[in-house]
Amino acid sequence: MTEPATPDADSTSLSPQLETATAPPIALPASIAEASKDSADFFPHAVDTLRAAGLGPHLVESLALKSIYHCGASRGRDIATQLALPFAVVEPLLFEMKLAQLVVLKAGAPAGDYVYELTERGRAQASQESSHSSYCGAAPVELADYTASVQRQSVKKQKPRLADVRRALADLVLSDEQCCSIGEAMNSGIGFFLSGAAGNGKTSVAERVTSVYGRGLWIPRAILAGGEIIRLFDPSCHEELPFDLEAAGFEPHQLDRRWVYILRPTIIAGGEMTLDQLEPRFNVATGVLEAPLTLKANGGTLVIDDFGRQKFRPEELFNRLVLPMERQIDNLSLPSGRTFQVPFDQLTVFSTNFDPVQLVEEAFLRRIPYKIDIGNPTEEQFREVFGRVAKALGIICDRTQIDYLLETAFTSAGRPMRFCHPRDLLLQVYNFCTFRELPLLLTREAIDAAVRNYFVEAPNDR
């Protein structure tokens, strides 16, 4: 099914519990320099030796071999760039690989560099290494260094105030009581339930709370744990941000390129979530060991959306997450069976259409002390959202037509209002007018068509 057309796809973003079209789901830095200030407590300084990087020569040699294996003959500086290590650190290893007859110097290159090509022996070893893991990106960061970075950038250090929460949720229509409850839950540093009927904006709220913690966060592209390289940075859920080194008082050569500066993450796991996503998993398609959802969410928010609709029982997820949430430490298992500890530093939000009491026992509910209900809108809230959406879509409407909509679609039909209804119905009106080449006006004819198309009548009402 295709999405309804909107007047300006680039500028219009209408969330289920929505409002202004121009506000982004998560606030971005006002400037690169401002973003740089968010990470003032931590900066990944460049390393000048393998020891300083916490890496052994065999691991870096393996990455270099696989880099040449997958990319073809390469200059030494290109290999160092691929591994995100200084050339001065990688060059001695390349010469050792030459002495071991793993590579040959195919040609000279500028600035005293060479083009390296695999020998048959090197190709065989690279193939063997790739069969275990095809990862050949940035060299990993040692687990201890990653743990220290999480602690220095921890969300637990953040104690948001009401003004911070209001600012983060400014494009949603929420009561002061709801904003206060959300802020208090965030201050607890553990997590909370968001409950209420579908279409009232629970996911929209959960997506926005992360911005309260600040904007930027440094994470490694990969970490080394239990002798395995685990890819942490995931472009599908992490958004890389520019970082102004000069504004932060650093030179380009001072940055450890194994790290990446990202928007504090909001990781959303819906009804398709499985429990094995909470452990490192080997990606068969890429041949790379991927970090679990909880690790990717560190420094931000993990949203369990549609909680209670997953294939596993709710108690199973609670049993898995409650101790890490309370102790801020998680125990992970590698496919090899080896276990290791990682920091658990995130706000965990359970978003559900069910009453939490129906999902888990009272003993579990006590462990998550905040339960916040996102209920149906009042008529005043409905009108406020309706007006904002109409303005965003460029639809002209007056109070009389909104009165007619409320009476026909809700009051006389005995139908409850949802926060998503203004957006959904006005998109129908927009399509109605656009298709017929009519002015963007809210008319009774357009309202009747929208209500008829959108709401499903029970068989005995037909």
Give yes or no: residues 133 and 159 share one domain. no
pLDDT digits (tens, 9 = 90+) for 223-250: 999 999 999 999 999 999 999 999 989 9
Determine which of 35-39, 371-375, 397-401 has the lowest per-residue pLDDT on average: 35-39
pLDDT at 7: 46
Give yes or no: residues 104 and 218 share one domain. no
pLDDT digits (tens, 9 = 90+) for 166-197: 999 998 999 889 999 999 999 887 889 999 89
Domain boundary among 357, 373, 389: 373
Is 11 a domain residue? no
Is 241 a domain residue? yes
CATH number at residue 227: 3.40.50.300
Is 445 a domain residue? yes
Is 275 a domain residue? yes
Domain range for 406: 379-454
- Report how far residue 327's alpha carbon sits from residue 100's, in angstroms, rounded to the nearest whole number: 48
Give yes or no: residues 227 and 274 share one domain. yes
pLDDT digits (tens, 9 = 90+) for 101-148: 999 998 877 777 899 999 999 999 999 999 989 999 999 999 999 999
- Report how far residue 187's alpha carbon sits from residue 162's, in angstroms, rounded to the nearest whole number: 11
Is 29 a domain residue? no
